[in-house]
Amino acid sequence: MEYLVPAAVTAVLLTTACSSNAENTTEESNTSEEALETVQTEDVESAGEETEQTEEAPEETEALQDEPEVTEPQYEINPAIWTVEALGDAPSNVVLLTIDDAPDQYAVEMANTLKEKDAPAIFFVNGHFLDTPEEEAMLKEIHELGFQIGNHTYSHPNLRDLTEEEQREEIVSLSDRVEEIIGERPVFFRAPFGANTDFSEQLAAQEGMVLMNWTYGYDWEADYQDAAALQDIMVNTEFLTNGANLLMHDREWTYEALPGIVDGLREKGYDIVDPVLIKGIDQ
């Protein structure tokens, strides 16, 4: 391979050769050759350094590509009527699915049903359903299926009957327990019976949780503790609107009605909103 010698070095070599006498010609020639070798060696080393830097560049590019993308919120909860409202150009014909009192008996089966139907949901859990290794495993499975876990207090009391310190214990101790099991704290909070207090609302905000109630739900009423009746009312109620926040529970009849509810909502033109797109959680 040939190497180019900088012009300044060539000029020095020519001047030196012309000013020398015949007796020094050999010595100066040797000096010139040494200078050329030095220049060539420096060029080779410089070229090698540039090659190494070029080879490292793809690794830096790859590292940048591995950085997680930030998801912008597309919805927010309306605290006046608890619907899910679209932000910007997000579709408005959506509904939110939520399951309370998990993981009691059917929560894992419900999660698998929703997973098969590609229907996101929030599972609001209670601490008294997390007392055994089996119940811990159920919560882990629901979370690993990709569902959001919400805080529904430790023992499901009416918060309005408790002192502020008792409310704190109900809420924070459950978040601690959930984090112990799945490695994450809940990002949604729903008070039992929908009965919030000023203190519980402030505490939920301090804990970084989105406050949640619901638009409608029926599965605790005697007339709808049957899969067919529940499926019909959940899809055909007058309260089904854009952004409806649907409340369901870990119950046998709800589990049996769930596939028909999801299908019926979609047949009416509603998409199931992904809770991770709701404003207020860590995107």
Q: What is the pLDDT of residues 39-57, one digit of tens each?
A: 444 443 444 444 444 444 4
Rounded Cα–Cα distance for residues 276 and 168 (Å): 25
Quote the pLDDT of residue 274: 98
The pTM of the full predicted model, rounded to 2 decimals, is: 0.76
CA-nearest of 166, 185, 59, 75 to 120 is: 75
State the DSSP code for 254.
H
Rounded Cα–Cα distance for residues 176 and 70 (Å): 26
Quote the pLDDT of residue 257: 98
Residues of the chain with pLDDT under 50: 1-65, 68, 283
Quote the pLDDT of residue 41: 44
E-strand ranges in the chain read: 75-77, 84-86, 94-102, 122-125, 148-151, 188-189, 210-211, 216-217, 244-249, 271-272
Stated as kind and residue range, the H or E segment containing 206 is: helix 198-206
**Dihedrals φ, ψ of 45, to 5°?**
-65, -40
